[in-house]
Amino acid sequence: YICVTLNSVNLRFKRMKEPKVRLMLVGVEKNSVETVRWGQLGYVHDSNTILELRYYAGNNTVKFQDADVLFYLTGHDVVTDDEKTGKISSAGLGIAYVSGLCTKFFVGLGEDSAGYYTGVGTIAHEIGHLLGAQHDGEGPARSVLGHPGAANCPFRDGYLMSYVRDGPQQHQFSNCSLQQMQYVIAVRGDTCWTVLSKKRLYSPGKYPGTQLTLLARCKKLYPDKLNVTAALVLGNNSECKVRCEHRVTKEFYKEQRLYRAIYTYRSELEALDYTTCGERKVCIQGVCRPRPTRKPSLTTSITNNSARPKTVVQLQ
């Protein structure tokens, strides 16, 4: 499941050039005891938990010596401090240190609903931070001398390093994000890029859209409803969406006559990568495209001229 998830995350890094980036899974650790989670039952407090995760990584340097990134993936609801109200907010999805790649700040975390690949965007966003990308619209990261920042890419444009979710660009890094990651990876140098681990985990050719049906996703959205239906719909510019519906029939009397009304409830989800959208076509990063003829990239694919931050994913 983690390998399939990372295959999808890697699609978002395909625009990276000079150096190229491909995430490679080198280990998974499943928590039997909650060693780093900070928060009430069922919740993960983002800033406190990532601090505990950093301490945990620092105390286990031998265990994680082959990793450039350590990511804590949780099924709990990630919560954060609301800066305006000072209260806990469930609006959080993940957190990571900007430019933490190959330093003691190499940790990030995010939430995912196991089996449903809901964490793909969050993982890509947080690893984007670790590789050096600020939120779009923000200035340079002070922790890296000469960092280019993202002031030239408006937050409202809705790319991956913003919180605006309107259009297929939400699955892509902006040019500013690409430039920042290129800069930080270059600063870290080839000692950071060298693949140290002999263990490589992968699921070749598998993507979320090939593993999960549309109906399963819609039933997850409406778990206690009957007559749930699912359909792939194409919007402007071949944008892929999954339409979920369920109907409720209600009866009522009016003027001593029995009437029956049917109410249709509808929601739309983003289509997962490699969801079929036509003959020899699949959805990739939110857009229906001809199915690639080349063999899909693997989580562990290696080329001599590629810089590949390796990832250890810690499961809870």
Name the percent of the chain in helix, strand, coil, to the closest 5: 25, 30, 50
Question: What is the Cα–Cα distance from 38 to 208, expressed in whole angstroms?
Answer: 30
DSSP 8-class letter at 295: P
Question: What is the Cα–Cα distance from 62 to 219, expressed in whole angstroms?
Answer: 43
Residue ranges at the known binding site for Zn(2+): 125, 129, 135
DSSP 8-class letter at 157: G
CA dihedral 97→176→119→185, nearest 10 degrees, is: -50
Tokens representing residue 1 in the block: 């499941």
Q: In 3D, which of 236, 230, 245 has the Cα closest to residue 275?
A: 230
DSSP three-state, residue 97: coil
Long-range contacts of 222-229 (CB under 8 A, 24+ apart): 222/246, 222/265, 225/265
Question: What is the Cα–Cα distance from 204 to 213, expressed in whole angstroms?
Answer: 19
Question: What is the Cα–Cα distance from 97 to 46, expressed in whole angstroms?
Answer: 11
Tokens representing residue 115 in the block: 């089996």
Residue ranges at the known binding site: 125, 129, 135
Residue positions annotated with a catalytic role: 126
Question: What is the Cα–Cα distance from 72 to 49, expressed in whole angstroms?
Answer: 9
Say if residues 125 and 117 touch (Cβ distance below 8 Å). Answer: no
Say if residues 182 and 198 touch (Cβ distance below 8 Å). Answer: no
Long-range contacts of 37-41 (CB under 8 A, 24+ apart): 37/74, 37/76, 37/316, 39/76, 39/79
